[in-house]
């Protein structure tokens, strides 16, 4: 896609809180195959034992319930009125496993139980909608959502594709260049090809 086509595509993108869209659109974005369809953004919320013991319908039901009661509604992107992408963003304490992961434990300066620090943990962009600015639009909307919710700071844990070749599955963390373009600063590089980034609001 050339630059003109990308600019046109980006004007067709809308990002909406998931609480305002049909759940069937969420299912469309997560799909029926691959990591999103088997995780439902629950990995960072469960212990290893819970993760191994929980099947996919229960994971989906858990996300549906969290969306209704969580302080951090997730966001859905539409491209030309088609559900195209998703971003998960919440206060860091909502992600019990997050602060135990190597990248975050080694690289974040934030306290794990500080509710004023929010985390962007997951992007999903459907096949057929990639390289159209969906992730950038989702990130911008996530930052504005954090700001409106009274967040002090928002973190991300992206992959630096200039250092590390990443599959589309790996890129659920987001790409470092996308975060940097949105004004995030690199806090640390706790391991090869990974960064902790932060934006003070």
CA dihedral for 54, 57, 63, 66, sign (positive or negative): negative
At residue 149, what are phi and psi to the nearest 5 degrees? -90, 0
Query: Residue 16 in 3-state DSSP?
Result: strand
C-alpha distances (whole Å) from 70 to each of 13, 19, 88, 98 are: 25, 11, 11, 17
Return the structure tokens found at 159. Answer: 């992959």
**Assigned fold of 3-200:** Aminopeptidase (3.40.630)
Q: pLDDT tens digits, the chain, 201 residues: what are they?
A: 444 444 444 558 999 999 999 999 999 999 878 888 899 999 999 988 999 899 999 999 999 988 887 666 689 999 988 999 999 999 999 998 998 899 999 999 999 899 999 999 999 999 889 888 999 999 999 999 999 999 999 999 999 988 888 777 778 999 999 999 999 999 999 998 999 999 999
pLDDT at 7: 44
Our measurement of the distance from residue 61's CA atom to the centroid of its chain's CA atoms, rounded to an integer in Å, reads 19
Closest CA to 158 of 114, 132, 126, 120: 120
User: Taking the model in full, what pTM does it have?
Assistant: 0.89
Give the pLDDT of residue 3. Answer: 44
> Tokens 């009125």 map to which residue?
81
Q: At what angle do helices 56-69 and 23-30 cross, to 10 degrees?
A: 130
- Give Dmax over CA atoms of the chain in angstroms: 49
């Amino acid at each position: 896609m050339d630059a003109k086509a990308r600019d046109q595509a980006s004007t067709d993108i809308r990002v909406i809180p998931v609480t305002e869209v049909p759940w069937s659109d969420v299912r469309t974005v997560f799909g029926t195959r691959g990591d999103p369809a088997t995780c439902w953004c629950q990995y960072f919320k469960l212990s290893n034992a819970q993760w191994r013991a929980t099947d996919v319908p229960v994971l989906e039901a858990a996300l549906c319930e969290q969306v209704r009661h969580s302080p951090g509604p997730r966001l859905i992107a539409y491209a030309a009125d088609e559900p195209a992408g998703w971003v998960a963003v919440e206060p860091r304490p909502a992600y019990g496993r997050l602060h135990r992961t190597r990248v975050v434990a080694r690289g974040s300066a934030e306290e794990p139980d500080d509710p004023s620090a929010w985390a962007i943990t997951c992007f999903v962009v459907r096949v057929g909608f990639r390289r159209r600015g969906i992730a950038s639009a989702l990130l911008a909307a996530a930052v504005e959502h954090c700001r409106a919710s009274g967040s002090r700071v928002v973190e991300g844990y992206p992959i630096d594709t200039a250092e590390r070749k990443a599959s589309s599955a790996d890129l659920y963390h987001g790409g470092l260049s996308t975060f940097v373009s949105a004004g995030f600063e690199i806090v640390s590089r706790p391991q090869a090809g990974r960064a902790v980034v932060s934006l003070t609001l």
